């Protein structure tokens, strides 16, 4: 067989089609890669509760990176380790206070599987209620009691730049911030020093797989470090330009089985 590779998959816009499913072709090729002895894992910004169904669907038996690296565990092996690094609660509350002087639609804080909404929000409830989290609504300055795994600020495009500017001025040392692609103008915040590459490296070390044998697929801002870290950092055809610029290669889009196409070629999967 080809030497053992570690294959890391982002979910939204990468492995998943736009209707949030795994195509038949992607599923077949990943199953064949596993049969050939390669290691397949998920690295996503999503919480575990809304990525677990894909983990099961692919019949994985590997660790998983969630919340962009703020949480990592092995769903089938309790002894593997449980890496949860939340944002300091005081920093979180400072950010809530600071947001009062900007215009924003909402702030959402996630403490693992508990979701806190600053304001009631039908549109976002849909996205966040997957996997039945405990949901609390009300001023985060009062309701947030624990350090959040992740925070999101939902705003408008013109405010997004102002808030990101403020955050990088005031909290640069303690947070990592990302923004989502349109149509959602969302800033995502986790503790400094964390990203998907941190989780990917833990997995690569665990399996004894060198960087040059790591294949990572992504499309967004939060995939940059992972794509840079991997020996084969692959941008999807639909990826943002900054990611395409640093990628080793560009494959087809998430709607065209880009993951399968690249793996078939690289790993000689028939």
Torsion on CA atoms 126, 132, 137, 141, rounded to nearest 10: -110
| Angle CA 204–48–236, to nearest 5 | 60
Cα–Cα distance for residue pair 192/85, rounded to 1 Å: 10
3-state secondary structure of 160: helix
Cα–Cα distance for residue pair 101/98, rounded to 1 Å: 6
| Angle CA 75–114–167, to nearest 5 | 105
Cα–Cα distance for residue pair 18/72, rounded to 1 Å: 25
| Non-local CB neighbours of 87 within 8 Å, separated by 6+ positions | 70, 147, 148, 149, 150, 151, 174, 175, 189, 190, 191
Name the active-site residue from 10, 219, 221, 223. 10
- The answer to whether 146 is a known catalytic residue is no
The answer to whether residues 55 and 42 touch, using CB atoms and an 8 Å cutoff, is yes
Q: In terms of C-beta density within 10 A (0-12 exposed, 13-18 middle, 19 or more buried), how is residue 169 classed?
A: exposed
Active site residues: 10
């Amino acid at each position: 067989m080809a030497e053992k590779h570690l294959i890391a998959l982002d979910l939204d816009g990468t492995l998943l089609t736009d209707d949030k499913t795994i195509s038949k072709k992607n599923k077949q090729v990943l199953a064949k890669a596993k049969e050939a002895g390669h290691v397949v894992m998920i690295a996503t910004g999503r919480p575990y509760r809304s990525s677990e169904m894909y983990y099961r669907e692919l019949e994985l038996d590997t660790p998983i990176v969630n919340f962009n690296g703020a949480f990592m565990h092995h769903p089938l092996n309790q002894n593997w380790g449980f890496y949860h690094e939340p944002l300091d609660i005081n920093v979180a509350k400072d950010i809530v206070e600071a947001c009062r002087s900007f215009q924003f639609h909402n702030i959402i804080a996630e403490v693992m599987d508990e979701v806190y909404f600053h304001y009631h929000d039908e549109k976002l409830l849909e996205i966040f209620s997957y996997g039945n989290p405990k949901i609390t609504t009300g001023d985060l300055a009062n309701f947030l009691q624990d350090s959040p795994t992740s925070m999101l600020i939902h705003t408008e495009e013109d405010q997004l730049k102002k808030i990101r500017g403020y955050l990088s001025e005031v909290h640069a040392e303690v947070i990592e911030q990302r923004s989502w692609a349109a149509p959602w103008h969302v800033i995502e915040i986790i503790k400094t020093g964390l990203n998907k590459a941190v989780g990917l490296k833990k997995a690569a070390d665990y399996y004894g797989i060198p960087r040059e044998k790591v294949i990572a697929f992504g499309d967004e801002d939060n995939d940059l470090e992972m794509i840079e870290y991997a020996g084969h950092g692959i941008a999807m055809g639909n990826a943002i330009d900054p990611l395409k610029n640093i990628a080793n290669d560009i494959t087809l889009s998430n709607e065209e089985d880009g993951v399968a196409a690249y793996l078939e070629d690289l790993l000689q999967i028939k």
